[in-house]
Amino acid sequence: MAKNDYAYAVARIRVRELSLLSSSFLEQLVSAADYETCLKLLREKGWGKKEEESAEEMLSLERKRIWDLMEELVEDTSVFHVFLYANDYHNLKAAIKELHHRNGFPNIYLDHGTIDPELIRKAVAENNFSALPESMQSPAVEAYKALLHTHDGQLCDVILDRAALEAVYQAGKASGNEFLSLYGELTVASADLKIVYRALRTGKNTEFLERALVSCDTVDVSGLIQAAAGGMDAVGKYLESTPYKDGAEMLKTSPSAFEQWCDNLMMRRIRPQLHEPLGLGPLAAYILARENEIKSVRIILSGKHNGLPEESIRERVRETYV
């Protein structure tokens, strides 16, 4: 579609942006007396559908509303597949592990992928990977055989997590859209850096990193692996030469602190779309904004449910889009 073809959709999104959660509302949730008060405040904002639903049901409904809206606004939602490939590979991972353990696991499959989870499950159960999209077939076979022969669930995860990152990155590049390309770039770069952090904390070797990391424009994988051999300080020094140098201290703190920094960076990078009158960008930014606020709400609800101090919860909440 041409830029002008999204004019009506962007106009509708501008109205929806008025309902996005603000930083002041998230602070109100953090300061709420308890978990139930948080749920009440969210329902007053229009979240959820019924009084007796669980928090997880509420969040699932909010995610469904994102994609229901996109299907209403855009004739061909395949333009947003870059946001959904991670769900496909999660479901592939779940199907392989479910078969390996020979018993069913309830609620392990995610909605809103590009492929019906039941099709993935059937392909794995029948060892018929040709039923999957061509790009998924090779990693599916590799992960299936790895788990069958080694019983190493982590190896299965590494194979499919890498394939998911490659799918996101390639889709962003192939889209020809600057915004979607940026999303793919930031997704892969932040994943690479988090993988290195965890690898150093758990004593993983160079071979593991070579298998797990995915190349992108802003992270030189070979340079990153070389830096990892020198420890966290060397990785921090490597980051000084990248666009992610401001996240170096966060990476030293914890993966969750760095993940928060990456999510906040994404919000900062997409905010210019608030002023774009046309094109796909404002719609894609709205999807990310909604996913980001769902993540923040999940963090707050989890913190309240587990009795964490307000300051501890506040430190984990993401920046908002508006």
Query: In whole angstroms, what is the distance from residue 226 CA to residue 222 CA?
Result: 6
* pLDDT of the residue at 1: 53
pTM of the model: 0.91
231-257 pLDDT, tens digit each: 988 998 999 889 998 888 887 787 788
Summarize the confidence of residues 291-303 as an average pLDDT.
96
126-149 pLDDT, tens digit each: 999 999 999 999 999 999 999 989
* pLDDT of the residue at 310: 95
Query: In whole angstroms, what is the distance from residue 84 CA to residue 194 CA?
Result: 21
Handedness of CA 87, 252, 295, 217 (dihedral sign): negative
For the chain, give percent helix, strand, coil, nearest 5: 75, 0, 25
Cα-flanking dihedrals φ and ψ of residue 30, to 5°? -60, -40
9-58 pLDDT, tens digit each: 999 999 999 999 999 999 999 999 999 999 999 999 999 987 778 899 99
180-237 pLDDT, tens digit each: 999 999 999 999 999 998 999 899 999 999 999 999 999 999 999 999 999 988 998 9
* Residue of 60, 86, 319 lying closest to 183 (CA atoms): 86
Query: In whole angstroms, what is the distance from residue 177 CA to residue 194 CA?
Result: 26
